[in-house]
């Protein structure tokens, strides 16, 4: 599907979709709790449906209603066939760990995009805990056989926080105590804080060293919980940016005190000169003259596409550092944003861990989304100012934000679809 975006008069209010990261964490924890848990106000999108389908495949009972999913967990069964994870990296990586608790053998199958994302570091970390886990080189499919002894496992902290979350999910369920030690400093620390918060709500205590270089868990049991999911800061970053370049836009259902790392978007907006007002669980951003800034994205790597399109319109240079891991997301996002900005007449300087955007006046162009939801959404924001923009493979937003195009239209976005 192609979407065309014309110059738009943007004004209005949107409600933040529920957090994908918290939804999937809540589902995984509920699956291990012996009894019924309720995950409330959760995100319904391709990634969360993939997580739910895999959990049902190993015996987790699910009842769905309009506002929540009720999960009956605690006992896994041997799956009847292969478990398809779609293109959800969190589902694949978290299930690589939980698969060690499933009787018999689990085989996890990736979608086409996920098949290009590495997993071998997690495979090696699981093996150190006694798990029989194999992959095809550095990639899925992954096969896991029942068994989780415990002990010490060590892995780098700068590849993917999802690897560490996966280990934390199963650490309390091993036969013996588990110590997780990071050989390099942790990046994306907020995601680990979110995991620890979710575990705590399901009755699990993890001892954490102050620098987040080591974690310790003794044997424990998950407890059923009623788990509400807050709004997603990653998804609303596009509407906050939209407010700054074309607004005003108000975003409801968002927690300014959230543990989510992408709430730093508010700080970036203010540093760039945007007018930002916070009122309880709502944020309003008004159209402003933006200035280029230096921003470290080490702990908020999903903001790269959003910050890039704001930098394209800012006065002066916007320098983004801590970007290396963005090369192994749904697409090589560093390459994707550079290529698409250059199509729009914006000069970009790319280095291994730094991107410099020369602010100017972007022109309309055909945008290659690389089938990456964050590329499609971010460049649609820029299209409301440049006009004459066509976004290829625009249906990819369904991965995390299936209502995105309708929501953009609701506040004045001139959006047309071509199936």
Position 411 scores a pLDDT of 98
The 10 Å Cβ neighbour count of residue 96 is: 29
Active-site residues, by number, are 302
Position 400 scores a pLDDT of 97
Listed as ranges, residues in the chain with pLDDT below 70 are 419
The DSSP secondary structure of 252-319, one letter per residue, reads ES--TT-S-GGGGHHHHHHHTT-EEEEETTEEEEE----B--EEE-TT-GGGHHHHHHHHHHSBSEEE
Position 66 scores a pLDDT of 81
Q: Say how many CA atoms lie within 13 Å of 103 toward its Cβ.
A: 7
> What pTM was computed for the model?
0.96
pLDDT tens readout for residues 174-199: 999 999 999 999 999 999 999 999 99
Domains and CATH numbers, the chain: 2-17+231-418 (3.65.10.10), 20-218 (3.65.10.10)
How many angstroms from the chain centroid is the CA of residue 95? 16
The 10 Å Cβ neighbour count of residue 181 is: 15
Position 210 scores a pLDDT of 86
Sort residue 308 into left (φ over 0), alpha (ψ -120 to 50) or beta: alpha
């Amino acid at each position: 599907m192609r979407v065309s975006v014309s110059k738009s008069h943007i004004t209005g209010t949107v409600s933040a979709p529920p957090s994908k990261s918290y939804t999937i964490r809540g589902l995984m924890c509920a699956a291990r709790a012996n009894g019924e848990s309720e995950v409330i106000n959760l995100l319904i999108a391709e990634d969360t449906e993939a997580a739910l389908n895999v959990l049902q495949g190993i015996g987790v009972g699910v009842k769905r209603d309009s506002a929540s999913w009720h999960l009956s967990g605690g006992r896994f069964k041997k799956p009847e066939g292969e478990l398809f994870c779609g293109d959800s990296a969190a589902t694949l990586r978290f299930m690589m760990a939980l698969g060690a608790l499933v009787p018999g053998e689990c085989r996890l199958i990736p979608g086409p995009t996920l098949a290009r994302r590495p997993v071998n570091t997690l495979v090696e970390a699981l093996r150190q805990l006694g798990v029989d886990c194999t992959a095809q080189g550095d990639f899925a499919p992954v096969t896991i056989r029942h068994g989780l002894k415990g002990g010490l496992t060590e892995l780098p902290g700068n590849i993917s926080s999802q690897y560490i979350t996966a280990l934390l999910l199963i650490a309390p369920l091993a036969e013996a105590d588990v110590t997780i030690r990071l050989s390099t400093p942790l990046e994306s620390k907020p995601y680990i804080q979110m995991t620890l918060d979710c575990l705590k709500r399901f009755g699990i205590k993890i001892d954490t060293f102050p620098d987040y270089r080591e974690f310790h868990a003794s044997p424990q049991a998950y407890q059923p919980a009623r788990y509400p999911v807050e709004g997603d800061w990653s998804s609303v970053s596009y509407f906050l940016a939209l407010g700054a370049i074309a607004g005003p836009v108000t975003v409801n259902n968002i927690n300014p005190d959230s543990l989510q790392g992408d709430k730093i978007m508010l700080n970036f907006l203010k540093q760039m000169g945007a007018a930002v007002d916070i009122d309880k669980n709502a944020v309003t951003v008004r159209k402003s003259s933006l200035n280029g800034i230096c921003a470290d994205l080490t702990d908020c790597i999903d903001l790269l596409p959003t910050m890039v399109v704001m930098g394209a319109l800012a006065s002066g240079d916007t320098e983004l550092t801590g970007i290396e891991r963005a090369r192994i997301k749904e697409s090589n996002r560093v390459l994707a944003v550079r290529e698409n900005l250059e199509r729009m007449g914006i000069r970009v300087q790319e280095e291994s861990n730094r991107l410099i955007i020369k602010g100017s006046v972007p022109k309309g162009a055909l945008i290659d989304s690389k089938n990456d939801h964050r590329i499609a959404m971010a460049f649609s924001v820029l299209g409301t100012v440049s006009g004459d923009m066509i976004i290829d493979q625009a249906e990819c937003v369904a991965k995390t934000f299936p209502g995105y195009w309708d929501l953009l239209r609701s506040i004045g976005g001139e959006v047309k679809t071509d199936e």
